[in-house]
A and B are shown apart, each in its own frame.
Chain A
Amino acid sequence: MLLVQHLLNGLLAGAYYLLIALGLSLIFSLGGIVNLAHGAFYAIGAYLAVSIGASLGFSGAALLSPLLVGVLGVVIERLLFRRFYKADPTLSLLLTFGLAMVAEQALRMTFGAPPLSWSIPPGLRGQVFIGDFVYPRYRLLILSVAVACVAALWFLLQRTPFGRVVRAGVQNPDMVGALGISLEPYMAAIAFLGIGLAGLAGVMLAPIFTVHPAMGAEIITSAFVVVVIGGLGSFWGVVLAAVVVGLAKGLVTAVGYPQYSEAAIYLLMLLVLLLRPRGLFGERIQRFE
């Protein structure tokens, strides 16, 4: 019974990897930027949520904070990212690594190093009991938000003209350009979506995790593991990988070794890289071959 609970819990835990990894994957797919600052945007989302939440409450924060983080993402994309789309990937790596450090220190200077206090709003507290299974209502909300994001993104990318251009841009930006379509506004929109998603993850996770300046660094590695396992540029790959990573952690914990649960996901990544370097659903993207 406990095993089932752990597996289910692992599945649900995949939801928060998903919120971060989706944006990471989106930005990488289109611009080729490995965004090491993604965790920083997650942290900014959480800090904004606490600041906004003080006056507008949780729902106000949940709506505004991801929007603001998304706008910040567009600014960063316009000012910095776009200079690096055609450059050596090492340069954008350095850029985003630097950005992450600047953001972390800026948070420390603005809000202080000690963590901020922030809780689940009273209306969302409490647990759901199904037989012997118990789960907090708030985590079920996180799961629903993650599922909604996946559905919305899938629709946007697969069923709209916007998505068609983005997908074409992922495969062959030069061809898209030759067809007379400028990718610039699409890049900005993807930065808004991807980075806004990181902000949303910050809002959703702030009530159950610690809000502190280095919280971004804490989550970014796991998110990268998910993207690598899922396969770069693959939407469903990332979704599946988030679930697999969650399950792996749940399983390792269930058999009695919670201290190895973090190690387990790296082992999983290693296996995937050895057996299937493209990742589970990784597509062959011409310009990365």
Chain B
Amino acid sequence: MNESIDTRRRTLLAGASAAAAIGVPVLSRAQADIIRIGHLTPRTGFLGPLGEFAVQAADMAVAEINAAGGVSGRKIELLKEDSVNPQTASTKAERMIERDKVACIIGEISSASGLTISQVAERTRTLFINTGCNSDELRGKGCKKYMFHIESQNSMYVKTCGRSLLAQGLVKGKKWFSLTADYAFGHDLLRVAKRFMSANGGDFAADKLVPTDATDFSPLLLEIRNAKPDLVISNLAGNQITNFLKQYSEFGLSFPVAGFGFDTAVAWAAGRGNFMGTWPLVWHHLIDTPDSKRFVAEFSKRYSRPPENQAWGDYNAIKLTAQAMGETKSTDSTTLVEHFEKGAKFGLMKTREGYFRKSDHQMMHEMYTVQALPVAEIKNNYDIFRSSPPVPGPNESLDVIATTAEENECKMA
């Protein structure tokens, strides 16, 4: 008895030391069977609500890929973490890359955290696909060879919604009252919005910065009422938009409302009767394509609520990464970057396929503007808006809504 335990112990020891000695090969053999993808996104804090959709969609994408046999027979394993803030995001990205040997990193919503993750990705030559950071700066001054953006840039949002505003005659010679979230994303968006407004003959009645933690908009609503603008423009973010919409309707103001940064969850939270105006979206659950309908049905079945636009971003980023890995038969970041840069096309549940533009790695794809439905036409808590046809139209180049090289220069190393 004693002997056998001893023997077993010795075998264990030998095994352990053998494993220690050949630690690296063991790891790489384990990696041969699976592909690890790191998923980082804010799951708490003011972007947490969007992060939850991102995580659910990422899980769903991986489950579908694995159920269909994985990527060239290899299963995908998703490592998920709350990115919390820029510092934590970069620490976690580093750990995922150095320790867990992830093939790439997908996710993020905060532009500030996106920037720090991209720095780690660039240094370690690891692919990073941004699914939710909007700022033009990440595609301009902050652009990186290893960073790609499935999320649209602020300029695309502004130019998409701007078209609808031009059509409604709300720009030329009109006075805008603009409210801007007082942090990096808001400032970037305001800059782009201002450029669009002045280029098209509009002017500010007023231009106010709003602290991100402000919940009471009553003082601003009094100012808006006093200024009598032709249009109220929101460059706000997240819950700010919900608060603003609820209180705008509470104060009974009747000036048209539009915004340049938006998420469906914000409209759902404001609710019927409070949600109003014209807003741009990268995707929404009412898009009438077979792929979108299947995605919405699957997601709703799995999570008992329709997917938000953030779900679209993370789901498609993982799907297109797996597709690219299959097409190149490689998980090597540099190979994938080259593949993307050659203009590989991806189905994104829209009417046209999309591709990453070589100059700044921005996904070129269709966008939409939505307009709030009148309360009488609303049938449930989710379908509270109607959509424009895709922007750009079928005969236009996809990059007409994106920044030009002069507007946002990107110099990649």
Contacts and interface: CB of A to CB of B under 8 A. Distances in A.
B204 interface: no
A254 B219 contact: yes
B118 to A, nearest CB: 25
B213 A114 contact: no
Contacts of B397: none
A214 B226 contact: no
Interface in B128-185: 182
A208 B216 CA distance: 8
Interface string A202-236: 00000111111110001100000000000000000
Contacts of B25: none
B226, B239, B265 — most chain A CB neighbours (10 Å)? B239
Interface in B336-380: none
B45 A214 contact: yes
Contacts of B214: 258, 261-262
Nearest to B220: A258
B51 A113 contact: yes
Interface in A108-132: 108, 112-120, 125-127
Interface in A183-218: 207-214, 218
B413 to A, nearest CB: 36
A250 B274 contact: no
Interface stretch (A29-37, A71-79, A134-142, A158-166): A134-142
Contacts of B44: 108, 214
Contact of A211 (B48, B250, B269): B269
B215 A6 contact: no
A115 B239 contact: yes
A115 B223 CA distance: 27
B210 A212 contact: no
Interface string A1-39: 010011001101100100000000000000000000000
Nearest to A127: B252
A208 B246 contact: yes
Given A113-B51, A210-B239, A259-B208, A2 B222 contact: yes
Interface string B34-51: 000000000111101111
Interface in B214-236: 214-216, 218-220, 222-223, 225-226
Nearest to A219: B215
Contacts of B251: 127, 134, 136
A117 B49 CA distance: 13
B218 A9 contact: yes
Contacts, number: 119
Interface residues of A, number: 44
Contact of B268 (A5, A114, A209, A214): A114
A258 B48 contact: no
B219 A118 contact: no
Contacts of B213: 218, 262
A16 B216 CA distance: 10
B49 A9 contact: no
A249 interface: yes
A6 B45 CA distance: 30
Nearest to A260: B211
A92 interface: no
A9 B49 CA distance: 31
B53 interface: yes
B52, B53, B218 — most chain A CB neighbours (10 Å)? B218
Interface of B: 43-46, 48-53, 182, 208-211, 213-216, 218-220, 222-223, 225-226, 239, 242-243, 246-247, 250-252, 265, 268-274, 305, 308, 381
27 contacts: A2-B223, A5-B226, A6-B222, A9-B218, A108-B48, A113-B49, A113-B51, A114-B50, A114-B52, A114-B308, A115-B239, A115-B269, A119-B274, A125-B250, A127-B251, A134-B222, A136-B251, A136-B252, A208-B247, A208-B250, A209-B215, A209-B246, A210-B215, A210-B242, A218-B213, A253-B219, A258-B208
